[in-house]
Amino acid sequence: MASIGVIGAGTWGTALAVLLNGNGHQTEIWSAIPEEVEELKAAHVHRNLPEVRIPETVGFTADLQEAMADKDLLVLAVPSVFVRETARKMRNYLKEGQIITNVAKGIEENTLMTLSQIIEEELPQAEVTVLSGPSHAEEVSKGLPTTCVAGARKKHVAEFVQSIFMSRTFRVYTSPDILGIELGSALKNVIALAAGMADGLGYGDNTKAALITRGIAEISRLGIDMGGKMETFAGLTGIGDLIVTCASMHSRNRRAGILMGQGRTMEEAMAEVKMVVEGVYSAKAALALSQKYHVSMPIVEQVNEILFNGMPAKEAVSELMLRDKRIENSGLEWEEE
């Protein structure tokens, strides 16, 4: 049995705490909001996961030092926009070589850093790992079969994280490609906004399939230029995560996109979803990265136009459909004429 601190009391952190507790680990959830801690202690139900009872053996605390003390693993589960701030708060309590598994998804807008890069900068004494894949909190918390990938630089560290999370309903693979995992998991949220917008406009399965396949092409082009591996983008944290985020109503990015496709502004959509819409925060960073690495990402460009420049979603679709003619895959060769 391991002792685990889950730093963040959102739906994903809570779902993973339920999973880890079910695996026999001693698990404690930290929240920066004392009122939230008291509510969870009293009800043992998360307000956004009302059908899931949190076991009595899961602890709750608003004391960060307590949440981190003597833990074999720390799961960092705060929204991406709070990762740097939270990591900075953790600095004084972290022991040398302590393993942190980041489960948030995003890219920092002003630095274009991945979340693991942020954590390593703020907590150089930590062993930073990631856990990602097609995994909605609503389904994981109910024990529905799910697969994810544990990423780490060292094989034995990835295998340790794998062993902690693995269960009869939660299958975990390992990978050394942390960068590819994080780029796939962050950029797919931007494509999911576009997929939701298409749904909100009343478009069909053909449109969704086009966005998913051309979306993974954009993600792969950028990711490979940045040092990620094609195998990662073709796997669970690439195309797998993209499919589930574009297709499911559990996806807050898709839900926000649907509202924008129906005419809501970005601010109105985010307010209605009532949870952090990571794709909105990653969209500018994705566009900046595409420009930095000179990679064509037309879907990302149009999503930015809709979010921040007031372009109607229907007009953005026309822009995509009327682009210059292209070959689908420039790596394929023609017969000699």
* pLDDT tens track for 182-196: 999 999 999 999 999
Rounded CA separation 304/298 (Å): 10
What is the per-residue pLDDT for 274? 78
What is the per-residue pLDDT for 265? 87
Domains parsed from the chain with CATH numbers: 3-176 (3.40.50.720), 179-321 (1.10.1040.10)
- Asked whether 82 and 105 are in contact (CB, 8 A), the reply is no
Helix axes 278-292, 205-226, angle to 10 degrees: 50
What is the per-residue pLDDT for 270? 86
Rounded CA separation 208/20 (Å): 35
Which candidate, 208, 211, 192, places its Cα nearest to that of 106? 192
Which candidate, 41, 20, 275, places its Cα nearest to that of 143? 20
Whether the pTM exceeds 0.75: the reply is: yes
Q: Catalogue the active-site residues.
A: 188
Coil, helix or strand for 250? Answer: coil
* Positions of the chain with pLDDT under 50: none
The distance from CA 302 to its chain's CA centroid, rounded to whole angstroms, is: 21
